[in-house]
Amino acid sequence: MKRSPELIPLSKEHHESLVLAKRCQRTAAAGNHDDIEQLCQQITHTFPDKWEQHFRCEETGIFTLAEIQGGEMATLCQQLKEEHDRLREIYRAMKGGDCSGLEAFGELLQTHTRKEERELFPLIESSFSDEQLKSYLAAANVNR
């Protein structure tokens, strides 16, 4: 499916998140403590500048736009925001040295990303023109 040009930067980051999610799942399943710890350290190092920034862009841009629309889109965005918060909780635990949530982080990141790509983005694209998206998302600084 052709993605709206205004959503492409977020979709590209979603691809990266799916790669990370799979890596988390595989590493956790393998059970090698050193590998798990190393991946958790990598996540805690990149999370603030990469994933937290991504979440904030979605929350201040896409999710706010969806709230204006209301209905199913607003409900979906509330669920996605709660998932962002859960991913932040797992990140904070990792940052504190608790790597037990690596598999849960990977699983949630995967399902969350797919939900945005398969459910939210199509709803947004069918509800708003590319011009409306461009105007609103530029004002929210989503396409940084």
* Average pLDDT value over all residues in the chain: 92
Mean pLDDT on 29-54: 96
**Rounded CA separation 141/126 (Å):** 22
Tell whether the model's pLDDT for residue 38 goes beyond 80: yes
90 occurs within a structural domain: yes
Q: Which two tokens stand for residue 46?
A: 């990149």
Residue 21: partners with Cβ closer than 8 Å, 6 or more residues away: 105, 106, 107, 109, 110, 113
Q: How confident is the model at residue 62 (pLDDT cuts 50, 70, 90)?
A: confident
State the amino acid at position 135 in one-letter form.
S
107 occurs within a structural domain: yes
Q: Which two tokens stand for residue 106?
A: 């990977």
Mean pLDDT on 30-43: 97
pTM confidence score: 0.91
9 occurs within a structural domain: no
Structure confidence at residue 133 (pLDDT): 83
Give percent of the chain above pLDDT 90: 74
126 occurs within a structural domain: yes
Domain that holds residue 65: 19-139
131 occurs within a structural domain: yes
Q: Which two tokens stand for residue 110?
A: 């995967």
Structure confidence at residue 113 (pLDDT): 98
Closest CA to 17 of 41, 61, 53: 53
12 occurs within a structural domain: no
106 occurs within a structural domain: yes
pLDDT tens for each residue of 108-135: 999 999 999 999 999 999 998 888 888 7
**Rounded CA separation 41/18 (Å):** 18
Q: Which two tokens stand for residue 15?
A: 């691809």
Total of domains in the chain: 1
56 occurs within a structural domain: yes
Mean pLDDT on 36-46: 98
Helices (runs of H) and strands (runs of E) counted in the chain:
8, 0
